[in-house]
Structure 1
Amino acid sequence: MNNSPVRPRLLSRGRYSEAVRIGEILRRETVGGAILVVAAVVALIWANSPAADSYFALRDFRFGYEPWHLDLSLGQWASDGLLAIFFFLVGLELKREFVAGDLRNPSKALVPVAAAFGGVAVPALIYVAINWGNAESLRGWATPAATDIAFAVAVLAIIGSSLPTALRLFLLTLAVVDDLIAIAIIAIAYTEQIQIVPLLLCLIPFFVYLVLAQVFRDAFARHRWMAWVILLPIGAVMWALLHASGIHATIAGVALGFAVPVLHKAGAHGAPEQGPGLAEQFEHRFRPLSSGFAVPVFAFFAAGVAIGGLEGFTASLSDTITIGIIVALVVGKPIGILGTTWLLSKLTRAKLDESLRWIDLLGVGLLAGIGFTVSLLIAELSFGHGVLNDHAKVGILCASLLAALLGAIVLIARNRHYKAIAAEDLIDENADGIPDSYQRGE
């Protein structure tokens, strides 16, 4: 009789309902990722065309209300305002995973969370090493920190239809967590001066929002108009006050996302009502707005860089900022993610789930090197509008394209492998609509 203890498994298969939900997110993000790429390509072509002056004039056109520090350019409205919608979804998704998703189990949450920290730390260290001794260049140390959720998930959705759900959930959670880390870095490292009064005042609408969302969660879930009429204006006031405080206003999106309850209120017998909670409903409502409009518009205004032809492109590639970003994203991201996961397996004596291979995690680590949206934001905060920011943008665009291609090469091959064995996983002997492999816990 074998009495040896069963070793815990890393990235094991989760619930079937979670697999279905992740599949739906991937399908929706495919369209958003395509729009994002189109917006970035249009911006690049326009910024390097004879009509380039009109592009930069449009990006720098200012409007708003100065007493509230809201006299902003269109590019700033996109990065400070529209990206708050994107980070609102980040907050919703992360909270839902930890409250009601597979990651509510600490042992399941540990791996992607730790891998996200590794995927932030290693690229930052590589960038610092390459730019050591140059104070101006070192300002961009956090530029290769974050993974672009929309871009990376869109690539995964296109090429990885048969990849295990655990692997796709790993990338999704990893991207959400490291975007959250990036937002924390923005709040700490890129806030030069804090205005205390508006910062304290922004807590008032936040707590009003929090209380209303908790108390009337079921009413907001039943009546779509209530969230737009009641919660949206309160959230906008919080955003404006946080922006006036000097802290980057996208942080308001994350905070408001975390304030939305995931579960229904307890019913007459003490158990919460069934069906999607408010967080899940908000995710369905706001994701098209984020992926179809907010993120592409930001990409349109952020990705436009005047490369200056072949000579300018060559000059950009010789800059340590560009080199540091490319190496950090393409090499540092997979090393940080794969290395941290491997180290966890050794420290916890856990083994990778039998349905996965380490090369699968390498493919995901490469896709995580697609650092588009948040990387462009951090580059702008680090270098402003100038030559250094242009070089950083070239590095981000080149690295994202290279990471997408390398990740696709690895995962397309792995997708063929999993597609060949997918028929067995679809067996449903009980005819209940759920593959028996999930019921057996394989």
Structure 2
Amino acid sequence: MATPPSPGQKTILGRGSYPEFLRINELLRKETVGGILLLVATVAALVWANSPAADSYFAIRDFQIGIEALHLNLSIGHWASDGLLAIFFFLIGLELKREFVAGDLRSPARAIVPIAAAFGGVAVPALIFVIVNLSAGPEALRGWAIPTATDIAFAVAVLAVISSHLPSALRIFILTLAVMDDLIAIAIIAFFYSSDVQVPYLLWMLLPLGAFAFLSHRFPKFFAQHHLAAWVILLPLGIVTWALMHSSGVHATVAGVLLGFMVPVLRSKKNGGPDAGPGLAEQLEHRFRPLSTGFAVPVFAFFAAGVALGGWEGISRTFTDSVAIGIAAALVIGKPLGIMLTTWVLTKSTKATLDPSLKWIDVLGVAVLAGVGFTVSLLVNDLSFTLGSEHHDHAKVAVLAGSLVSALLAAVLLRARNRHYRQVEELETADADQDGVPDVYQQEPRATS
């Protein structure tokens, strides 16, 4: 039985609020569908790319379409990674802002743990990749950021498959960790993978972005109530912002995050926190998430995951490449090591303890699950290496293999804890009184760090 903390002692990863618990459960259900579609798209791409009709797959992926004068004459694959994936990152921006403005993580004491863990989960995998590839030359080192991000949809799909009844604090932890990972990865893309940046285009981009922000904040109720107005007014401004960002040389998905940050979260300034009513950010999230999870991300995965494996001989040759070894090791070992080490150091430096309702094995299971990298990892791979090059293809295989191993290891760890937390959850649900809220969520919260 867990020893309760002494009065006033700080704890980390404590229980959040009940509204946040309900919101996270709803988000998990939505992302689970996205994870399944992502898996189907990935398998379909791999089968087609390794079938007798493989040439047709690569011909479609590399077929160019667009307007040359606007720097938008792109291949189908690039339209998927630069265009459709911007929708995904728009939702990342909305979700991150929602967490820090109206979620449980608006409290710095709660936010510090997943933020610090995310930075640890980015730094250690990158360091492992660099160490493995130090003697491979500068070309190989360009892939240092590939294993830094966690794929939300795949990670949530793993949680759904194992029927996890993990405490809400851990589920919030993995979701926030994944979102922060993606945000850090986008910052890395903006600063390290942007080339020949055209400042005039960036300055012009501020005009539609500013108009988007002004209208969103000035008329949030109007856009929330009139669905067509958001599509007719806000969407064109978002597309122009994206196009100018793309023309500037900065990766266009950065525009998606910026636009997400511009949307107001709260319906009323007087009502902060998880109990506040849904604002425009939640309304737009509700409208765009089906487009992202049901179309944008699976289509990107379909065109990004297709790689000719070359049979067992080709697969074995892949893992003689230091790039593939570095990516796989970074995802399977580096991710959990960075997250666990950072979280442990945080407890020691602040003299805090892990919440008594949790065990370190639970944190380890979630940390291993964070090694499921896919969407952003494949995006960074496309930016790191020439399309179709040996490093590029080997990195794809390593991302898939490392993610699969991480998912299986996490499933073993978390499944072992599943039975225990199911029993705890049943007791807490039965303990709910007439207001329908479990009494444990109505207790005085402990100090957190």
Under TM normalisation by the shorter chain, which class is it? over 0.9
Instruction: List per-residue Cα deviations over 1:122-179 (Å, max 9, x = no partner).
Output: 0000000000022211010000010011111121133243110000000000000010
Summarize the Cα distance change of 1:433–1:389 in structure 2 as closer, same or farther, 3 Å threshold: same
> In the alignment, residue 429 of structure 2 is paired with which amino acid?
L
Correspondence for 2:303: 301
Matching residue's letter, 2:334: G
Gaps of 5+ in 1: none
Look up the equivalent residue of 1:197 and give its one-letter code: P
**CA–CA distance in structure 2, aligned partners of residues 428 and 379 of structure 1:** 49
1:162 maps onto 2:161 in alignment: no
CA contact (8 A) 2:88 2:296 kept: yes
Paired with 2:220 and 2:286, the residues of 1 have a C-alpha distance of 16
1:310 aligns with 2:312: yes
Distance 1:411 1:277 in 2: 34
Query: 2:66, 2:193 → 1: CA distance?
Result: 23
Letter in structure 1 aligned against 2:316: T
Provide the residue aligned with 1:276 in structure 2: 278
Determine if contact 2:164/2:414 at 8 Å carries over to the other structure: no
Q: 1:399 to 1:274 in 2, by over 3 A?
A: closer
Q: Does the 8 Å contact 2:64/2:76 carry over to 1? A: yes
- Give the alignment partner of residue 140 of structure 1, picking from 129, 140, 143: 143
Summarize the alignment of residues 340-351 of structure 1 with structure 2, pairs less than 5 Å apart. Answer: 340-351=342-353
Question: Residues 10 and 351 of structure 1 are in contact (CA less than 8 Å); yes or no, is this contact kept in structure 2?
Answer: yes
- Deviation of 1:274 after TM superposition, in Å, equals 5.7
Map of 1:41-440 to 2, 5 A cutoff? 41-133=43-135, 134-265=137-268, 275-385=277-387, 386-440=389-443
> Is 236-245 or 275-284 further displaced after alignment?
275-284
TM-score, with structure 2 as normaliser: 0.95
For the 8 Å contact 1:321–1:392, the answer to whether it is kept is: yes
CA distance in 1, matches of 2:288, 2:208: 20
Asked if 2 retains the 8 angstrom alpha-carbon contact of 1:111 and 1:344, the reply is yes
User: What SS class does the counterpart of residue 72 from structure 1 fall into?
Assistant: strand
Give the whole-Å Cα distance in 1 for the aligned partners of 2:173 and 2:326: 26
- Asked if structure 2 preserves the Cα contact closer than 8 Å seen for 1:160 and 1:411, the reply is no
- TM-score w.r.t. the length of structure 1 is 0.97
Matched, 1:19 2:21: yes
1:303-344: per-residue Cα shift (whole Å, max 9, x none)?
000111111111001111110000000000000001100000
Q: Structure 2: which amino acid aligns with 1:143?
A: I
Q: Using the alignment, how far apart are the partners of 2:424 and 2:432 within structure 1?
A: 17
8 Å CA contact retained: 2:128, 2:329: yes
Query: CA 1:238 to 1:429, structure 2 compared with 1: closer, same or farther past 3 Å?
Result: closer
1:196 offset after TM fit, Å? 1.3
Once superposed, what is the RMSD of the aligned Cα atoms? 1.5
Task: Write out per-residue CA displacement over residues 31-71 of structure 1, whole angstroms, 9 at most, x where no aligned residue.
Answer: 11000000000000100111000000000011000111100
Question: What is the percentage of aligned positions where both structures have the same residue?
Answer: 63
Change (3 A) 1:215 1:330: same
The CA deviation at 1:420 is 2.2
Distance 2:121 2:419 in 1: 27
- Alignment size in residue pairs: 437
Work out whether residues 268 and 276 of structure 2, in 8 Å CA contact, stay in contact via their aligned partners in 1.
no
CA distance in 2, matches of 1:4, 1:158: 37
Contact 1:427–1:436 (Cα < 8 Å) also in 2: no
For the residues of structure 2 that align with 1:411 and 1:225, how far apart are their CA atoms? 43
